[in-house]
């Protein structure tokens, strides 16, 4: 991760993220905008994802002192691209299947798989081999766009972990919006 290092004090950070925080992280809509989401642990915001316009798929994510843009592209061969802020090159490419699961390839060589778990697909996770790295659990007693996040100890060692936290939420928000608006 080379873009965006160094925090200004207003940027979310994953510094200090510990294994005992797994399951305490929650993605939820921001109180300031329905198109902005915050990943929080207790009262601290550790990541944000903001859709840049009222319509469309372009979003900006911030975590761990880095900033990335997320964009869905393609029709017959859809994909989601992630770029470091200010870069013209794809840092990550997600290629979905018709079910929403799919493969994620990082420019640095890491490959992970995104897929659902549980009845009604109530959980989605990134896996490396058969190990869940980051899992998103829908919160049944809250708004439809809230999720609790768990991560493995192995995920803590990955430089790509902040992007996985953002990308997973980006994919779930897109799926939710498509279901709500019929893909428009």
> CA 165, 39, 12 angle in degrees (round to 5)?
90
Largest CA distance in the chain: 42
Q: Say what the pLDDT of residue 143 is.
A: 60
Q: Partners of 125 in the beta sheet?
A: 115, 135
- Strands 147-151, 25-29: pairing kind: antiparallel
Q: Say what the pLDDT of residue 104 is.
A: 98
- 153's tokens: 């100890």
* Gap between the Cα atoms of 70 and 124, Å rounded: 18
pLDDT tens for the chain, 184 residues: list them.
333 333 344 445 455 567 777 778 999 999 888 889 999 988 889 899 999 988 889 999 999 879 999 999 998 899 999 999 999 999 999 999 999 999 999 999 999 999 999 878 889 999 999 999 999 998 877 666 899 999 998 888 888 999 999 999 999 999 888 877 765 4
pTM for the structure as a whole = 0.87
- 55's tokens: 């319509």
Q: Which of 49, 67, 57 is nearest to 168 (CA)?
A: 49
- 166's tokens: 């953002």
The 10 Å CB-count burial string (b at 16+, else e) for 49-85 is bbbeeeeebebbbbbbbbbbbbbbeeeeeeebbbbbe
């Amino acid at each position: 991760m080379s873009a965006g290092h160094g925090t200004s004090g207003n940027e979310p950070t994953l510094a200090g993220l510990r294994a005992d925080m797994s399951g305490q992280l929650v993605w939820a809509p921001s109180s300031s905008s329905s198109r902005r989401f915050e990943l929080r642990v207790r009262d601290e915001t550790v990541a944000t994802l903001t859709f840049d316009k009222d319509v469309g798929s372009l979003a900006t994510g911030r975590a761990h002192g880095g900033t990335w843009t997320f964009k869905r592209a393609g029709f017959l061969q859809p994909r989601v691209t992630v770029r470091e802020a200010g870069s013209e090159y794809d840092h990550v490419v997600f290629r979905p299947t018709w079910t929403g699961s799919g493969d994620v390839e990082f420019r640095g060589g890491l490959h992970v798989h995104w897929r659902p778990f549980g009845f009604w697909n109530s959980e989605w996770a990134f896996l490396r081999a058969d190990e869940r790295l980051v899992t998103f659990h829908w919160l049944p007693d809250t708004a439809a766009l809230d999720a609790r996040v768990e991560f493995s100890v192995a995920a803590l060692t990955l430089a790509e972990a902040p992007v996985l936290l953002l990308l997973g939420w980006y994919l779930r928000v897109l799926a939710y919006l498509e279901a709500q608006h019929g893909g428009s």
